[in-house]
Amino acid sequence: MFKRVLKVSAGGVALGLVGMGGIYQMRLKQNSSVSSDDFNAMQDQKLLRQHMEKAVSPLGGAEPLKMYRYSTCPFCGKVKAFLDYHKIAHECIEVEPIFKSEIQGNGYYKVPQLRFGSKSKGPFLVDSDVIVDRLSEVLPDKDKNNKEWKKQMLDPEVRKWREYARERLVRYLVININTSLLESWRGYSYIDEHDTIAPHNKIFLKVLGAPVMYFVSKYKTLPALAKGDGYDPSVVPPTEALRNVLKEWAQEGLRGKEYQGGQRPSVADIEVYGVLQSIRGHHVYDEIVRSIPTVKKWLNNMDTQTSTNTSRPANKN
């Protein structure tokens, strides 16, 4: 009897692993089926431009654009912070991260994705950098602040910190929230907050998603940091590395100013802040990110700057 139970259980686990492998392979295939550049180029450019101009117009009147996202995706965080800062009306649609039924049929499988106009007809704009760049281009010039905004987009220093957010900060966050399988499970538990996902599906998503995140962090993110940043976790533990990279922002990015942009946030402020918001609510955010006084003060200022239209409560303590 015992042997039979053991055999059936082993069979179940084996089947589960094969199933997970299959789903993972399907995702990789979908993700690489079309590049963001090709997908953006496939959209009706004239219509897209009209929609973008309407979306950023202070006169309003545009249908709120839809932003498909994972609330824990750092690239989505950049776009959300941009939309909030510029008060661009939008509706966030949380994408369930394994089967992604909310974006099946859109033709592109990564987030963030913006969709303008009505659901079945409107054009898309995807890739966080492209979204920020293209929406920045159409901000109305009549507003003096917009003119300044467009000018700073070309500043090499600003570009440097945008790259820092995208290439380095994102990765140090990933390795800090996936230090073990248990931590990955805790990190993935953000889905518990989303009512759009059925309870049984949540357990399934965590069983599948948490190990994937753990292995991605170990076998993709860490090697990328070793290559790009010369990072070795046996010399500097991840928590220390994240502190160092944040101190770099505080000392060399902010340099005693209120924002990297001076008295007003630059696009670099927006993007560094947006990336960090992807782990808001996680213990790493409170214990490490907010443990650096300059960063904490800047975060509080950025909370205020982006507070309209935000779905997250500002954390002021």
Ligand X SMILES: N[C@@H](CCC(=O)N[C@@H](CS)C(=O)NCC(=O)O)C(=O)O
* Residues making contact with ligand X (CB under 6 A): 27, 31, 70, 73, 75, 97, 110-112, 127-129
Q: How far is the CB of 304 from ligand X (least distance, A)?
A: 26
Q: Which is nearer to ligand X, 87 or 220 (CB)?
A: 220
Q: Which is nearer to ligand X, 36 or 57 (CB)?
A: 36
Q: Which is nearer to ligand X, 70 or 298 (CB)?
A: 70
Closest Cα to residue 93, out of 79, 103, 83? 103
Residue with the two structure tokens 């039924």:
101
Q: Which is nearer to ligand X, 127 or 269 (CB)?
A: 127
- For residues 281 and 286, what is the distance between their CA atoms, to the nearest angstrom? 8
Q: How far is the CB of 98 from ligand X (least distance, A)?
A: 8
Q: How far is the CB of 269 from ligand X (least distance, A)?
A: 18
- For residues 140 and 56, what is the distance between their CA atoms, to the nearest angstrom? 8
Residue 159 corresponds to which tokens in the numbers above? 């570009």
Closest Cα to residue 73, out of 100, 111, 107? 111
Q: How far is the CB of 178 from ligand X (least distance, A)?
A: 13
Q: Which is nearer to ligand X, 73 or 279 (CB)?
A: 73
**Distances in Å between the alpha carbon of 97 and those of 16, 104, 121?**
18, 12, 24
| Per-residue buried b or exposed e for 246-277, using 16+ beta carbons within 10 Å of the residue's own CB | beebbeebbeeeebbbeeebbbbbbbbbbbbb
- For residues 124 and 308, what is the distance between their CA atoms, to the nearest angstrom? 24
Q: Which is nearer to ligand X, 134 or 296 (CB)?
A: 134
Residue 195 corresponds to which tokens in the numbers above? 């009512």
Q: How far is the CB of 291 from ligand X (least distance, A)?
A: 25
Q: How far is the CB of 8 from ligand X (least distance, A)?
A: 32
Report the alpha-carbon angle 89-90-92, nearest 5: 155
